[in-house]
Structure 1
Amino acid sequence: MSDKNAKKFIIATIITPIALGTILLSLIYIYDPFQIFHKPYFREVTFFADMRKQALGIIKHYKFDSYIIGTSMLENTDSKEATSKLNSDGRWINISLSGSTFNQRAMVLDYIFQNQNPKHIIYSLDGYYMVNMVNMVNRLSNSTLDWDFLYDNNPYNDIKLYRNSKFMICALKFSDDKGCVGTIDDIYQITNWYKEYKELFGGFDNWIKNKDNGTIKQTLIDIKNGNIKNIEKEDIRDISPQQDYLHKYLIRFFRDYPDTKFSIIIPTYSRLFYLMQNIKGAYSDNSKYFYTWEKSLRYFIAQSSSYKNVKVYGFDDLDYADDIANYKDLPHYNKDLNSFQLDAIKNQTNILTPQNIDKYLATMEQKIKSYDITPFIKALENVEIEQIKQ
């Protein structure tokens, strides 16, 4: 091969691809739709609803010092309301990760604490994930592969988020299409889902009117078919998996960061939720659910009480969970409870301690056992619901 041809070969096979790759990576860096590297250049500020990926940009580039980080049970908590009611504790933002297990949220918390000194964290202690966490961790073991690298404090691998045909094409076009840059223009509304499900609140009649809605369809089928069983006392001997899980993914933060306040919210699932844990469904298939949760919560209260920077708030002893009108499905409550939770933090009410946990759980258990499901069964007697194909 002549020197001239060799030069052409090198240019064609090495220099040109490197140059094109560098240009493309530079373009992706500038485009940066998730704001991983910077706030938007040459476009309006917009956000994605996928908080697992979006949270990093918010933490890095926006001036917040207190975080709401729960599951969907805290997604409707208004961070502006939190700032107003808890104004002495900083400027709040909601970065709740819908459907997140404790280990997933721990990745985000680790990043926050390694890069900031947050004043206050509001966190949901979801009984569903605590009771079922062994299966959850195994089942979801690969579910973080497309985003967990964002929180490893290695900014050089964050570009992996964009190494796919979708975002490369978006970057080449410098598109402002919503599918490329996100649909939300208000940072305070990213996690809010209330409006999307508003028609399901207000009473069981609204569930029936929306009987084909995937959120509640299986629940209605199960009620109609009599798949409901009251809780029966179970002797739960071993909760060591739950204990280990709590220490590994939550309690260690209390210990390691004593200058940060932690307000732990116990999500208030409907009474009906607990009566439907003996069947295989969307939420659980564990007939021992309540008593596993009860013993785990007792343990958590005992452990957290030794940390001055932690308060745990519970609302299951109130009448709120008795009224199905407050729920869009078995676990998800209306946004008014999110406001009430903020009031409790502000006014220091509804706090669970080793001294009152027995009474709290006894009241909760009694309310579940005495819950009357007859009206639901009667309401569905003449309602036709198409069975879900397995």
Structure 2
Amino acid sequence: MRTSPGIHTKSKRFVSYFMLFFILLAFVTALITALIDPLQFYHRPSWYTPLLSEQERYQNPGLAKNYEYDNIIIGTSMTENFLPSQVDASLGGTTLKLSMEGSTVDEHYKIAKLALETGKVQQVLWGLDYFSLKLATAEEEEDFPDYLYDGKLWTDYKYWFNSSVYKQFFRSIKSTLSGQTKQDLETLYNWNDKVVFGKQYVAESYFKACDKEIDYGTNEESLVQVKVYFNTYIRSLLEEYPDVQFYFYYPPYSVMRQVAWYSSNPVRFNNQLVMRQWMFEQFEQYPNVKLYDFQTTSEWTFNLDLYKDLSHHNGEVNTWIAEAIGEDSSKYRVTSSNIEAFNTLLEEQAESAVIDSNGNVYRSSVQVNGEPLAFTTRLVQGNEELWLPAKEIGTALNASIDWDATTKTVSLTSGGNNVTMTIGNTEALVNGQTLAMDAAPLLAGGKVLVPVAFVADHLGWNVSVEQEGEWLRYLLNS
């Protein structure tokens, strides 16, 4: 049976109306989104006050496009505790913070480029973390809202038809009606008052990191690739915007962050040293760039009460950084005459710093017959005694080492003397006699840590311990 022409025409007309309705609905939805614009991507709404979103990757484009400023802050969570007013006081002008937690160099480039293209930026304060010199993972890249950064109107549909946009709008309206809405750019993204700082938390983080860093070391990007990222996402901006002043700085992680890398992830630590110098050599070529190094500032980095974990310091340190850069302090400004000294000092600090379970930091050194002993994982336990990997002690003292994984027992033997210790047990067996120790051996970073003075003494070495201020010096002589 054939369909009558009338029915066929009505079907076509219905499809046409449906398509027209769908197009009109999409157009009206896009128009409404552009009108209410809760992320202020197109404009700053005048009839209500949008709440500022803590979703930095989504909120930053609107801020960069539609707010007034002269300076921008770029970087990871290490830069989130800057107060724009304090940066204003140090650098002059009006500062906008465009930080992004856990961000990578390609993400830094995207937000910096967006802001720079507005022509407003006169100065850039950029916290340059070595570990951010990589690209976002495939999963992170998929979650990143590129449509807010690419400048293409036809990709904005992801914003127009996003339900979260309307949720943000209704939250703003509710807050406006209650009289609670305010746009606080001063503390936006700032977490200083939301966490607790203290050396005990750094100590906890350090002992966990000793185990985790071993795995991270197998995934380090090559220096060749890291340099490519630098050239693509940082150098290109320096060349494209020669009239903009860039202030880069190496953030001051706690010294125990450096110790964890040095001990358990030497690939990252050594790559960091190479890149610190190489990046300065690149920056040195541009008159619109200044570089500052705060990573060896021991009065900060050794004071673990300033940190909430191995890396993240409180807002007071951000203030000190802004003031030092504003003063162009020679103590922190990197030059061709001091870059090697900065690197040498950082390596010395990473080699010598040691922590106890309460978060107190010491400096330590061990000499065996006048020769310095290079050691990796270490800590202070008991009566301020230095504990080192049994394997490293055994090698230095020419002792044979036996490890029983089943009983978690380590035994060192030299010159007819034997010291046997068990993980978690404060009693040691010395030449068949049970002796008490101030603390028990433990596993850290996959290594068995034992007391260096106790072991050396009972293996027949002459042991001298010198304590001066924060320094613990061990002299072992045969």
Compute the displacement of 1:362 (Å).
1.2
Q: 1:116 aligns with which of 113, 116, 119?
A: 119
Q: 2:350 aligns with which of 347, 357, 368?
A: 368
Q: 2:197 aligns with which of 195, 201, 211?
A: 201
- Please say if residues 47 and 183 of structure 1, whose CA atoms lie closer than 8 Å, have aligned partners that are also in contact: no
Tell me the C-alpha RMSD between the 2 structures: 3.2
- Please say if residues 117 and 260 of structure 1, whose CA atoms lie closer than 8 Å, have aligned partners that are also in contact: no
Mark the runs of 5 or more structure 1 residues left unpaired by the alignment: 208-215, 231-235, 280-284, 383-390
The corresponding residue for 1:296 is: 275
Aligned in 2, Cα 1:202/1:183: closer, same or farther, shift over 3 Å?
A: farther
Q: Could you give the per-residue CA deviations for residues 188-228 of structure 1, whole angstroms, max 9, x where no partner exists?
A: 2212111111xx21331xx2xxxxxxxx79726527xx749
Q: Secondary structure at the match of 2:43?
A: coil
Q: 1:322 aligns with which of 302, 305, 329?
A: 302
Report the Cα distance in structure 1 between the residues aligned to 2:23 and 2:167, rounded to whole angstroms: 18
Q: 1:219 aligns with which of 190, 194, 205?
A: 205
Q: 1:262 aligns with which of 239, 246, 267?
A: 246
Corresponding letter in the other structure for 2:205: T
Compute the displacement of 1:252 (Å).
1.8
Question: Is 2:320 aligned against 1:340?
Answer: yes
Aligned in 2, Cα 1:127/1:146: closer, same or farther, shift over 3 Å?
A: closer
Q: 2:188 aligns with which of 167, 187, 190?
A: 190
Compute the displacement of 1:100 (Å).
0.8
Q: 2:96 aligns with which of 81, 93, 96?
A: 93
TM-score (ref. length: structure 2):
0.65
Question: Is 2:43 aligned against 1:2?
Answer: no
Aligned in 2, Cα 1:156/1:374: closer, same or farther, shift over 3 Å?
A: same
- Please say if residues 262 and 350 of structure 2, whose CA atoms lie closer than 8 Å, have aligned partners that are also in contact: no
Q: Secondary structure at the match of 1:115?
A: coil
Of Structure 1 and Structure 2, the greater strand share is in 2
Report the Cα distance in structure 1 between the residues aligned to 2:172 and 2:97, rounded to whole angstroms: 27
Report the Cα distance in structure 2 between the residues aligned to 1:158 and 1:229, rounded to whole angstroms: 40
Corresponding letter in the other structure for 2:173: D
Query: For residues 1-390 of structure 1, what are the structure 2 equivalents within 5 Å?
Result: 1-2=5-6, 5=10, 9-10=14-15, 12-87=17-92, 90-130=93-133, 133=134, 137=135, 139-140=137-138, 142-167=140-165, 176=173, 185-197=183-195, 200-204=196-200, 207=201, 219=205, 222=208, 227=211, 239-277=223-261, 286-319=265-298, 320-349=300-329, 350-376=332-358, 378=381
Q: Could you give the per-residue CA deviations for residues 107-138 of structure 1, whole angstroms, max 9, x where no partner exists?
A: 122222333151100001102223xx2xxx26
Corresponding letter in the other structure for 1:71: T
Report the Cα distance in structure 2 between the residues aligned to 1:146 and 1:183, rounded to whole angstroms: 27
Report the Cα distance in structure 1 between the residues aligned to 2:229 and 2:182, rounded to whole angstroms: 34
Q: Could you give the per-residue CA deviations for residues 218-258 of structure 1, whole angstroms, max 9, x where no partner exists?
A: 726527xx74999xxxxx9x722222111111122112211
TM-score (ref. length: structure 1):
0.79
The corresponding residue for 2:385 is: none
Q: Secondary structure at the match of 2:194?
A: helix
Corresponding letter in the other structure for 1:347: E
Aligned in 2, Cα 1:307/1:123: closer, same or farther, shift over 3 Å?
A: same
Bigger relative CO (Cα 8 Å, ≥ 6 apart): 1
Compute the displacement of 1:47 (Å).
0.7
Q: Could you give the per-residue CA deviations for residues 278-323 of structure 1, whole angstroms, max 9, x where no partner exists?
A: 79xxxxx733221110001110111111111101111122211112
Report the Cα distance in structure 1 between the residues aligned to 2:197 and 2:182, rounded to whole angstroms: 24
Aligned in 2, Cα 1:166/1:259: closer, same or farther, shift over 3 Å?
A: closer
Of Structure 1 and Structure 2, the greater helix share is in 1
Report the Cα distance in structure 2 between the residues aligned to 1:183 and 1:7, rounded to whole angstroms: 50
Corresponding letter in the other structure for 2:275: S
Corresponding letter in the other structure for 2:336: P
Compute the displacement of 1:152 (Å).
1.3
Report the Cα distance in structure 2 between the residues aligned to 1:222 and 1:202, rounded to whole angstroms: 16
Q: Secondary structure at the match of 2:112?
A: helix
Compute the displacement of 1:10 (Å).
4.6
Aligned in 2, Cα 1:368/1:336: closer, same or farther, shift over 3 Å?
A: same
- Percent of aligned pairs with the same amino acid: 23
Q: Secondary structure at the match of 1:351?
A: coil
Compute the displacement of 1:36 (Å).
0.8
Report the Cα distance in structure 1 between the residues aligned to 2:268 and 2:22, rounded to whole angstroms: 57
Aligned residue pairs total 346
Report the Cα distance in structure 1 between the residues aligned to 2:75 and 2:40, rounded to whole angstroms: 22
Report the Cα distance in structure 1 between the residues aligned to 2:10 and 2:136, rounded to whole angstroms: 56
Mark the runs of 5 or more structure 2 residues left unpaired by the alignment: 215-219, 359-378, 383-423, 425-438, 441-478
Q: Secondary structure at the match of 1:276?
A: helix
Q: Which region of structure 1 is more displaced relative to structure 2, 7-16 or 321-330?
A: 7-16
